[in-house]
């Protein structure tokens, strides 16, 4: 089965690794060990979709340029990125750990900046045009425009637990199980179902939030993003939003699918992760920099949101 990325993989230094047993034998594994990065790329593909795993360490900053002309049969890629530090450049978008990244395959050059000193680890599903036309459009009342919007809404720094579970299921699946083709098909359709359900749920939810309240909630988030290390009072946020405490709490949860407290904590942990890897600050200094005087409290929250303890991430640092 032809896979559009193989030509690109070999062009940047990946070579076929038929001896690797880290991933399911139903797929194909490529490896790389060059100045910029080392690790593996695995994929399984059929006529309707592909599943891929990126698992490599970026040793120095690199801009990946990929001409999309040879991927005409691929409609969209949905990836759950477990670990990354970089930016998509076409169009510009920051990417971070534990986010869902959506990319529609169109002719042109796809550009992605990866920063050195960080691992890149993701699980993705690529839907081909044949899947869209023969499965989605024929078995549902959804047109392609709605489907595209549903996929695009997954493209968010917001952590989506249902998609994280799909990624974890794929990673933990017994690689020697004989019915792997069926399993991957189930996961591809499960992800599609999540995208469609979230689209209609959000459409209904947004209808309940006025335009002015939506702008006010954006202002609250911008303030938190700029002052995450401070002790942010709910009273102050209510004044910024011009809302009561109850309305702000409920509206924020409705729009962002998380509480204000969780939003602040996630913002702090994202900044802390960067500091741990990219600076010579020790863990206690990083904790204080993002608003925690308690080392144990910081470590507990970091483990909760990042999956690793601060000292485990600090080991990746060049400092």
| Residue 42 pLDDT level (bands cut at 50, 70, 90) | very high
Backbone angles phi, psi at 263, to 5 degrees: -60, -45
Whether the pTM exceeds 0.95: the reply is no
| Token code pair at residue 279 | 């600076």
Question: Which pairing describes strands 109-114 and 92-95: parallel, antiparallel, or unpaired?
Answer: unpaired
Residue 89 contacts residue 249 (beta carbons within 8 Å): no
The residues near 19 (Cβ < 8 Å, ≥ 6 apart) are none
Backbone angles phi, psi at 294, to 5 degrees: -95, 115
Question: At 134, is the secondary structure helix, strand, or coil?
Answer: helix
| Residue 3 pLDDT level (bands cut at 50, 70, 90) | confident
Q: Which of 67, 51, 153, 159 is nearest to 106 (CA)?
A: 67
| Token code pair at residue 129 | 């045009």
The predicted pLDDT at position 37 comes to 96
Q: Which of 88, 5, 11, 7 is nearest to 54 (CA)?
A: 5
**Domain 5-203 = CATH 2.60.120.10:** yes
Q: Note the residue count of the chain.
A: 319
DSSP classification of residue 308? S
**What does the DSSP assignment read for 136-172?**
IHHHSS--HHHHHHHHHTT-BSS--HHHHHHHHHHHH
Q: Which of 219, 259, 264, 253 is nearest to 238 (CA)?
A: 219
CA-to-CA distance for 57 and 54, rounded, in angstroms?
A: 10
Residue 58 contacts residue 12 (beta carbons within 8 Å): no
Answer yes or no: is pLDDT of 2 > 70.
no
Average pLDDT over residues 212-232: 94
For residue range 235-270, list pLDDT tens digits in order: 999 999 999 999 999 999 888 878 999 999 989 998
The continuous run of DSSP H or E covering 289 comes out as helix 283-289
Answer yes or no: is pLDDT of 227 > 60.
yes
Residue 272 contacts residue 310 (beta carbons within 8 Å): yes
Fold of 265-319: Arc Repressor Mutant, subunit A (1.10.10)
| Residue 206 pLDDT level (bands cut at 50, 70, 90) | low
| Residue 72 pLDDT level (bands cut at 50, 70, 90) | low
Beta bridge mates, 100: 80, 156
pLDDT > 90 in the chain, percent: 58
The predicted pLDDT at position 183 comes to 95
Answer yes or no: is pLDDT of 1 > 70.
no
For residue range 119-142, list pLDDT tens digits in order: 899 999 999 999 988 888 777 778
CA-to-CA distance for 173 and 169, rounded, in angstroms?
A: 6
Residue 79 contacts residue 55 (beta carbons within 8 Å): no
DSSP classification of residue 133? I
Owner of token pair 């485990």: 312
The predicted pLDDT at position 238 comes to 97
Answer yes or no: is pLDDT of 71 > 60.
no
- How many helices (H) and strands (E) the chain has is answered by 13, 11
Residue 132 contacts residue 142 (beta carbons within 8 Å): no
């Amino acid at each position: 089965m032809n896979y559009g990325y193989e030509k690109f993989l070999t062009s940047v230094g990946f070579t076929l690794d038929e001896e690797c047993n880290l991933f399911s034998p139903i797929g194909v594994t490529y490896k790389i060990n060059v100045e910029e990065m080392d690790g593996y790329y695995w994929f399984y593909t059929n006529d309707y979709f592909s599943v891929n795993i990126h698992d490599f360490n970026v040793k120095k900053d690199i801009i990946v340029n990929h001409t999309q002309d040879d991927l005409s049969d691929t409609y969209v890629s949905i990836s759950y990125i477990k670990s990354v530090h970089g930016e998509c450049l076409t169009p510009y978008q920051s990417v971070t750990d534990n986010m869902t990244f959506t990319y529609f395959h169109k002719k042109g050059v796809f550009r992605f900046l990866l920063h050195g000193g960080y691992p890149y680890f993701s699980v993705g599903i690529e839907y081909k045009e044949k899947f869209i036309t023969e499965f989605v459009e024929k078995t549902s009342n959804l047109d392609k425009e709605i489907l595209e919007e549903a996929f695009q809404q997954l493209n968010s720094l917001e952590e989506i637990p249902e998609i994280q579970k799909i990624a974890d299921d794929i990673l933990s699946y017994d690689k020697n199980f004989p019915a792997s083709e069926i399993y991957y098909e189930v996961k591809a359709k499960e992800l599609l179902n999540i995208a469609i359900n979230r689209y209609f749920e959000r459409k209904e939810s947004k209808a309940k939030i006025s335009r002015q309240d939506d702008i006010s909630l954006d202002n609250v988030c911008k303030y938190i993003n700029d002052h995450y290390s401070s002790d942010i009072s709910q009273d102050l946020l209510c004044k910024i939003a011009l809302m009561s405490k109850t309305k702000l709490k409920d509206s924020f949860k409705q729009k962002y699918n998380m509480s204000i407290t969780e939003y602040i904590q996630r913002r702090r942990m994202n900044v802390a992760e960067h500091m741990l890897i990219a600076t010579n600050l020790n863990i206690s200094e990083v904790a204080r920099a993002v608003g925690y005087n308690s080392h144990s409290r910081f470590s507990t929250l970091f483990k909760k949101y990042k999956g690793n303890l601060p000292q485990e991430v600090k080991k990746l640092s060049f400092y």
